[in-house]
Structure 1
Amino acid sequence: MANNEIEKDMRYLQLLARNFPTISSAATEIINLSAILNLPKSTEHFLADIHGEHEAFLHVLKNASGNIKRKVNEIFGNTLRELEKKELCTLIYYPEQKLELVKANEEDLGDWYHITLHQLVAVLRDVCSKYTRSKVRKSLPEEFSYIIQELLHERTEDQNKAAYVNVIIETIISTQRADDFIIAICNVIQRLSIDLLHILGDIYDRGPGAHIIMDTLTNYHSWDIQWGNHDILWMGAGAGNDACICHVIRICLRYANLTTIEEGYGINLVPLATFAMEHYSDDPCTGFEPITLDKHTSLDKKQRRLTAMMHKAISIIQFKLEAELFHKHPNWHMENRDIISTVSLENNTCCVDGITYEMQHATFPTGTTLTDEERLLIKRLHHSFRVSEKLQKHIRLMLSHGCMYAIYNGNLLFHASIPLNEDGSLKEVEITPGTFLKGKELMHNIGMLVRSAFQQDSSPEDRQYARDYFLYLWCGKDSPLFDKSKMSTFERYFIADKALHKEEKGYYFKLRDNEKIIDGIMDAFGLTGQNRHIINGHVPVHVANGENPIKANGKLMVIDGGFSEAYHKETGIAGYTLVYHSRGFQLVQHEQFTSAEDAVLRGTDIVSTIQIIEMSNKRMHVADIDKGAELREQISNLNKLLYAYRHGFIKERERNK
């Protein structure tokens, strides 16, 4: 090692010496990091398009997409009956609820505690095998940390320690701490079964529990998100984009799903209800009747009528506000989507792309331009979104954990698409007036633009443009989150000709089964090596029709399998989890989840089918992934520090000095 290399890095090495002030401490860390390189790669889980289905999402986290059940089967094999293994799994998923049932029905509770605690320790020991003792220790609840560590590292097979272990178990029971201890162990098993969770967008809309999902992620140990179009819509609403606010409310009303918006975020829709009853009470609101998907949602005749009136009222306001933004930003090239200004109430017609069409119904009680009363209503709704503390907290969480794309361990993650030209080359998109970007630069700069909408140090003009741009990201032709010819909401509501309802997909979706084009995208994003992939969601995979989620000769994985109940008939399944562990990729295909209550009372689980995507004979270790590269760099720097100590560039010191 040359002295000039050490001199060049002296500033950094002096900072590093603060954490490792002696030769001994630096050498110990090198030994530790070198050992970690040889641990098996930990498990990553990929989910997409959850769409507010919180019960199914939470269950997938609790059962680690079936991984916990697989471990229980491997550990206990034929030594436990199938019913006993099912009961143990249910306990791990829902410990508090299951304990209540056990205590109500179990005759010899002491014996049950003794057997169950040994079983749980066996499962936890297996789950912990991929991690350092330090990482496991940090995952343990403080009050039980010492006891769990003792049980993990001592075995009853060792005759010298059998009595020691049994006494620990018996004392936990005799001191009436068994319930708390069981809950603690089950939570640690859940936590360590998924090391890193990747969400490829669309937490929001359709299902009733997006806010519950976000609350769960607030305390989740390790996760990231690549924003989806529905997430961006809610972020735009939270930023104060009035057209996005209308879209959010419209979608909630369309699916009769007001739980997230009213109960979750405290958005006051009474002004909208009052406005709708005043102006739309004589309007039949044909085509605006709510679609009730959630099995817990039932509306009586009056509720359906009010929902339809509110739905139409906010939709009409949405079309008017969108038109203003389309004309305000000609660089979006969306002026042709201002259809409402072409409506002829006398002739019952409108114009789409210069062609006149007859409308199914053309009742517009407030006209085709925004009224003062509508502006006042929007002002009130705007205020509700901006002052919702929980919504703003969840948006900050989205910003801190996410962006438009990410690269992990040779995998390029994004929600929907990368805009392409007809020949498969990267398409330049005008992100701000006069600024054209493509590929990686486009995705990065969109992410920065989104953040500027929430930054006080952005100029007022830049902040306002960023707020407006949320609408383009939601429905713009070249938006990486939309990438379709148009969003035909107006046509679907008002024009019978179904040819106008068609939203033609962009070239990414048409060409994504072409291995050469997928390779070109990965090249542009800097992915190298043989085992590289693109993973995204956004477009439901029609499994029922034979569509394969694995495309481009295994290089593209589309994991939108329809978590949302709205897509179950369309896809034939109820969601995917892609699992990437030390042996390779497995795609877990889920059937519809009944409920958490069923899972506890009857031991029902998500029925899953595992499809092996890409497996390796050589088990991957930490050294083979991104973390390994980081650790090797740290080891290299620590070796430089050792050299600096031994050759007098830096003097050793005690930690407390």
Structure 2
Amino acid sequence: MSNRQSNELIAEIINLEAILNLPKGTEHFISDLHGEFEAFNHILRNGSGSIREKVNILFNQELSAEQIDELCFLIYYPEEKIQSLRFQQPLPQNWWFEAIENLLVIVRFSSSKYTRSKVRKALPETYAYILEELIYQYDETTNKKAYYKQIIRKIIELGEAERFITDLAYLTQRFVIDHLHVIGDIYDRGPHPDKIMDSLTRYHSLDIQWGNHDIIWLGAVSGSKACLANVLRICARYGNLNLLEDAYGIDLTLLKSYSRNFYQENSHFMPKKNPYRKLTLTEINDAMKIQQAMAIIQEKLEGQLIKRHPEFQMNHRLLLDKIKNDQLMIDGQPYNLINSCFQTIDWSDPYQLSEEEEHVITDLLQQFQHAQKLNKHMTFLVEKGSLYLSYNHNLLIHGCIPLNEDGSFQSVIFNGKKYAGKSLLDFFETNIKQAFAKPWQTEDFSTDIVWYLWCGEHSSLFGKKAMKTFERYFIQETETHVEEKNAYYKLRNRSDICQYILNAFDLNEFDAHIINGHTPVKLIKGESPIKAEGKMLVIDGGFSRAYQKVTGIGGYTLLYNSFGMQLAAHKPFSDKKTALEKNDDIISTRQIVDRQVKRLKVKDTTIGATLIKDTIKLKQRLEHVTRVSSN
């Protein structure tokens, strides 16, 4: 028994120590997707240009530029590309043969940094044995050449070539990226966050850092009526109410009826132009009235919440009780109100919901909490998500670490206890999870903290002094619209401040970075995503079409492999249909952030640190077994 146990321990130690010396897998960082599924899907499929890079390395002497384009799109969209080529003309046998051989070359190359066991686990069950034979054909030019070619011919003869090519294409996508980091804001503005979430639930390895727009969706399902009002208002503002109805099965009949009865046409509340589809006149009118309704309900609910929690120090955001004769007093200055839609406010108790409003918001909350697909997505968001992540010497966070002007951490007191820096983020994350675990508690502290993260001054997700939604809707003077940013966004340009933050999260390595999303990088105005001598990387470059006129690009992504770190700036994506017809890839410009002097191995990573601990424990067990056996 002891000999067998010793042999098993020795085999496992050999295996782990061998894995530690493999090259580090490629990490893919992506942020601020804002429902832009088609652009996200394309970036995910092409690995931010990694697949094209490998195809160029392998075939630049053998294939023309047009053939390379076709091969890349065969990997990105195998089913659609084959269908498109078949529509043009019948595909001869030699096309299928060459396509399979080329894809096998790419799969072998892409999988070369993984153990055979890991590769085997990734193979589709149908062809696992055949694929393993073809991937590991080390003597293909000698003894087994005819054997391998016969396998491919038989696959074609049996009509399985299309399915086989599709499997090879998705294997390539799988092997090119080892792990995905989504640094927040999957939701709002764009039309298809649900499709992004569907893709993420199927992805082989990932983590998510919550963004401020994700948090209001989590808050709505967790029982926060104030978060729910924000979700509805933003969906109406961006013409995305069909997301709620069609994707998540939320019945808006009661809300539409209420809005039609109490609100009129108001052009200031017209939904923004939806870039994916033209709204009908009825949809425009409903969105216009629902946005008004939810803006007022939101102000009332947020006022109630602020009064419940004096410790939030947000009394300056209680505005409804400061309105008199269509004027609002702000810091002693009167402002005339525009776009008024205050007909449902009882000025003797302005923060009290009317009976109809209470009925509407209760109906919506119940639906959100019982919507099966929405709850599946939110559960996944909680399971895979966090406010921050320390991973492979990098601190991943969507928004900020609230700072004072002198660079020290801002402190805030909740329930009599002071929090700052890492402890503040840990406190927020604990409350997010507690609120989600008890969605039936709708006005408890944890649920209200989730809303605070949306717009509170000391929120790591908001990062501003105050959210000026009310002023932007109802006051013409633009000076009242300004949202003052936390000092973090100025100080993050300094390497000493970034290192101070990294040290607080136990990231003391010289090559450590902070990786942010949240604030679009205005490349068009000369802003750089690389700040603080490379210590700070901001990868919100405008996936959302609403931001692209400001940023001048279609998004940033980041790649971190065994050779170092590269930032990719992407041109705006047209659409999937055009891309397939013209082999129109997202044009990406790469910029080296860090180049490793020595190639990184698994032992240099977060996972490697765990494996090293496991190896030490195994060696200790082996010593114990050997000692017992000798006695």
- What TM-score, normalized by structure 2, do the two folds share? 0.96
Q: Match of 2:104?
A: 121
Indicate conservation of the 8 Å contact 1:98/1:600, yes or no. Answer: yes
Task: Note the alpha carbon deviations across 1:449-492, whole angstroms, 9 max, x for none.
Answer: 11011225x9969x821111121110001111112111000000
Pick closer, same or farther for the CA change 1:21–1:279 going to 2, 3 Å.
farther
Shift of 1:78: 1.9
Q: Match of 2:402?
A: 419
Instruction: Give the AA of the match of 1:80.
Output: L
Q: Match of 1:433?
A: 415
Q: Match of 1:348?
A: 326
Alignment partner for residue 234 of structure 2, among 227, 232, 251? 251
| 1:486-635 matches, cutoff 5 A | 486-635=466-615
Instruction: Give the AA of the match of 2:221.
Output: G
Find the aligned partners of 2:120 and 2:73 in 1 and give their Cα distance.
25
Instruction: Give the AA of the match of 2:268.
Output: G
Indicate conservation of the 8 Å contact 1:155/1:161, yes or no. Answer: no
Find the aligned partners of 2:366 and 2:572 in 1 and give their Cα distance.
38
Indicate conservation of the 8 Å contact 1:202/1:229, yes or no. Answer: yes
Instruction: Give the AA of the match of 2:599.
Output: R
Q: Match of 1:52?
A: 35
Pick closer, same or farther for the CA change 1:363–1:442 going to 2, 3 Å.
closer
Q: Indicate the larger mover: 23-32 or 629-638.
A: 629-638
Shift of 1:433: 2.3
Indicate conservation of the 8 Å contact 2:428/2:449, yes or no. Answer: no
Find the aligned partners of 1:307 and 1:637 in 2 and give their Cα distance.
61
Instruction: Give the AA of the match of 1:606.
Output: I
Alignment partner for residue 383 of structure 2, among 368, 387, 400? 400
| 1:440-451 matches, cutoff 5 A | 440-451=422-433
Instruction: Give the AA of the match of 2:596.
Output: S
Pick closer, same or farther for the CA change 1:354–1:471 going to 2, 3 Å.
farther
Q: Match of 1:645?
A: 625
Shift of 1:157: 4.7
Indicate conservation of the 8 Å contact 2:452/2:459, yes or no. Answer: yes
| 1:236-275 matches, cutoff 5 A | 236-275=219-258
Q: Match of 1:289?
A: 270
Find the aligned partners of 1:437 and 1:459 in 2 and give their Cα distance.
27
Find the aligned partners of 1:640 and 1:485 in 2 and give their Cα distance.
54
Q: Secondary structure at the match of 1:79?
A: coil
| 1:100-249 matches, cutoff 5 A | 100-155=83-138, 157-249=140-232
Find the aligned partners of 1:114 and 1:198 in 2 and give their Cα distance.
36
Indicate conservation of the 8 Å contact 1:203/1:230, yes or no. Answer: yes
Indicate conservation of the 8 Å contact 1:200/1:415, yes or no. Answer: yes
Indicate conservation of the 8 Å contact 2:182/2:208, yes or no. Answer: yes
Task: Note the alpha carbon deviations across 1:32-86, whole angstroms, 9 max, x for none.
Answer: 1111111111000111101001111111111011100000000011210111111
Q: Match of 1:466?
A: 446
Indicate conservation of the 8 Å contact 1:46/1:577, yes or no. Answer: yes
Indicate conservation of the 8 Å contact 1:53/1:210, yes or no. Answer: yes
Instruction: Give the AA of the match of 1:291.
Output: K
Instruction: Give the AA of the match of 1:136.
Output: V
Shift of 1:94: 0.6
Shift of 1:152: 0.9
Find the aligned partners of 1:627 and 1:132 in 2 and give their Cα distance.
15
Unaligned runs of 5+ in 2: none
Shift of 1:217: 1.1
Find the aligned partners of 1:523 and 1:108 in 2 and give their Cα distance.
59
Shift of 1:630: 1.7
Task: Note the alpha carbon deviations across 1:602-640, whole angstroms, 9 max, x for none.
Answer: 211111111111112321111222222222222211111
Find the aligned partners of 2:268 and 2:192 in 1 and give their Cα distance.
26
Q: Secondary structure at the match of 1:310?
A: helix
Alignment partner for residue 337 of structure 2, among 359, 377, 380? 359
Find the aligned partners of 2:523 and 2:486 in 1 and give their Cα distance.
22
Indicate conservation of the 8 Å contact 2:20/2:602, yes or no. Answer: yes
Instruction: Give the AA of the match of 1:305.
Output: N
Shift of 1:162: 0.9
Instruction: Give the AA of the match of 2:10.
Output: A
Find the aligned partners of 1:62 and 1:639 in 2 and give their Cα distance.
41
Shift of 1:23: 1.1
Find the aligned partners of 2:20 and 2:392 in 1 and give their Cα distance.
15
Q: Match of 1:298?
A: 278
Indicate conservation of the 8 Å contact 2:494/2:532, yes or no. Answer: yes
Shift of 1:299: 2.6
Residues 1:455 and 2:433 are matched in the alignment: no
Q: Match of 2:81?
A: 98
Q: Secondary structure at the match of 1:214?
A: helix
Find the aligned partners of 1:289 and 1:72 in 2 and give their Cα distance.
47
Find the aligned partners of 1:441 and 1:588 in 2 and give their Cα distance.
33
Find the aligned partners of 1:332 and 1:627 in 2 and give their Cα distance.
39
Find the aligned partners of 1:274 and 1:649 in 2 and give their Cα distance.
80
Find the aligned partners of 1:313 and 1:529 in 2 and give their Cα distance.
51
Shift of 1:102: 2.4
Aligned residue pair count = 626
Indicate conservation of the 8 Å contact 1:349/1:362, yes or no. Answer: no
Find the aligned partners of 1:64 and 1:259 in 2 and give their Cα distance.
30
Task: Note the alpha carbon deviations across 1:567-603, whole angstroms, 9 max, x for none.
Answer: 0000000111100001100001111111122222221
Pick closer, same or farther for the CA change 1:168–1:484 going to 2, 3 Å.
same
Find the aligned partners of 1:352 and 1:266 in 2 and give their Cα distance.
41
Find the aligned partners of 1:106 and 1:116 in 2 and give their Cα distance.
16
Pick closer, same or farther for the CA change 1:154–1:31 going to 2, 3 Å.
same
Find the aligned partners of 2:365 and 2:604 in 1 and give their Cα distance.
49
Unaligned runs of 5+ in 1: 1-16, 652-657
Indicate conservation of the 8 Å contact 1:253/1:307, yes or no. Answer: yes
Indicate conservation of the 8 Å contact 2:233/2:295, yes or no. Answer: yes
Indicate conservation of the 8 Å contact 1:241/1:467, yes or no. Answer: yes
Find the aligned partners of 2:91 and 2:176 in 1 and give their Cα distance.
31
Find the aligned partners of 2:336 and 2:275 in 1 and give their Cα distance.
37
Indicate conservation of the 8 Å contact 1:535/1:556, yes or no. Answer: yes
Task: Note the alpha carbon deviations across 1:359-396, whole angstroms, 9 max, x for none.
Answer: 12434221253211111111111111111111111111
Find the aligned partners of 2:120 and 2:332 in 1 and give their Cα distance.
67
Shift of 1:258: 2.0
Find the aligned partners of 1:607 and 1:529 in 2 and give their Cα distance.
33
Pick closer, same or farther for the CA change 1:21–1:327 going to 2, 3 Å.
farther
Task: Note the alpha carbon deviations across 1:411-435, whole angstroms, 9 max, x for none.
Answer: 01111000111110111122x3212
Q: Indicate the larger mover: 543-552 or 156-165.
A: 156-165
Shift of 1:198: 0.5
Find the aligned partners of 1:389 and 1:277 in 2 and give their Cα distance.
28
Shift of 1:508: 0.6
Pick closer, same or farther for the CA change 1:393–1:302 going to 2, 3 Å.
closer
Shift of 1:437: 0.6
